[in-house]
Structure 1
Amino acid sequence: MNSHFSQRSSPPEEEAIEVKAFLDLYNVSPSTLKSEEHFECLPINGGCAISLPSAPAIGLNRVLGLNSVNDLEEAYGWMNGRSGNRFLQINMDRAPAGTKDWILAKGLLEHGVGWAKLVYDGSSANLSEANSIRTRLVHVEEAALFGSMVCKGFNFPSTLTRLWSAIVGKVGWSCFFALDGDNPVGTATMYQSGTYAWLGGGTTLPEFRNRGIQKALIKSRIEHGLGNNVSTFAVETLAPAVGEPNISFDNLRKVGFRHAYHRKSFKL
């Protein structure tokens, strides 16, 4: 086998923190959920393959953080044994030539516009503008409410409430509510490992959208992370498409995130 086919490299830190978050999400999930929903995850050389067939989201049914042919072959074989939708996400600008040849040989087709990875440098934080919307950390006794709201916001089946409930109060995780009065109307999560943090789980109940709630939750997580020695925040969202509105991407850019790279999605 040619050397470029076996070449391995670790994912960049902004991708590694995302992998760690999903591995930990799997690890803290209840064993009953894993069994009943066929939730499985395979760590591979700094990346992973994750499968949760009942979840409609690409994020829980994909190969992430891998770019060598050897690693991709292992992940591809593992994913072939799973049901539901399955995807490969990869930064093609960083992929070796052999990996690009492997994707072509497998006949993998691009799916959608792909995802944008964005990064925020905590050393240049400028959050002087106060939040007009109140946010707060989720209490452990509110875990079920938090999980149900995330499911509603992302159109997940209610059986996956336990998935998101499981992270509330766990080491490394910080979960947030945005409030209308005293009532939670939006959710967000932050996973921290060392000085890096991954942001996810951002959603708003449909009747409260377009009020600046997600922007407030982004700022709250940055402020919380800065207070806990986070130096770099990473997040991903649907990549911008010409002529299509992208509120999530725009909100992140307005707060100060920079676009690090584009990650394509391929259907497995």
Structure 2
Amino acid sequence: MGRGDLSDAEWARLESHLPRNTGRGGRWKCHRKVINGILFRLRTGIPWRELATRFGRWQTVYDRHRRWSADGTWERILRSIQASADAEGRIDWSMVGVDSTVCRAHQHAAGARKRAPRVTGKRTRPGWHRPDEALGRSGGGLTTKIHLAGEGGRRPLALLVTPGQWGDGSQMISVLGQLRVSRPAGGHPRTRPDCLSADKAYSSRHNRRYLRRRQIRHIIPERRDQRTHRRSRGSAGGRPAGFHRELYARRNEVERCINALKNSRAVATRYDKRAYVFQGTVTVAAIRLWLRT
């Protein structure tokens, strides 16, 4: 086992969630060797062609990652691992934090063809070819933003990739819409945390109304301009938003979750041209965090 490869304990947690051979076409190569190659590239950020020969042909490793990113296999694996962790009581629902982080895009991430390539079969979903490719231009150049919801154990529950200049508050509902942890014993998936924390960027009437409608307790500080506007309206401005300073201190958990994700160089700097491939890269980093704990 090389440095950064899956340990026997991690492989035991992951193996049961991987897709099986269907008996049609060629058989999958060894999943463990290929996934170790994907993890090596995730950790180092090297070009796919520079993968060591111990992982097999680099085309096989890259194609596996691209296909599983396109058909949603990585997302299904992540949700299966989360469901198993929830059944074992290893998800801290008492506080879920929502936040975002900006990733600088490498020059190799730009230049994708505007027209989506022709897709054959059912392995790739054309809808994943976004017209903006989740690339935005800001003062720092080309950037991509990762929006996520992290549980109290500093592991991501839901992920969303957007262009770097998109705001945080407008994406909170979309991120929570991705939060869906199944129950292996049956029943509706869990989609609501006990409490949600977020910073001032998420303070808006629309977001607070959404959280109240779903009966989610939230700790979001009120912005100064919103507080001034509310007070200027007198009794018509409504009551001040509730805020618990001691519980809000736990917002560092989602920030530490982001820091753990960006320890992977292929996440901290985007090298993938296509948005769906980069979404798969971030999802693989999230899967690794769930396997390690």
Give TM-score, length-normalised by structure 1: 0.25
TM, length-normalised to structure 2: 0.24
| Greater strand content | 1
Structure richer in helix, relative to its length: 2
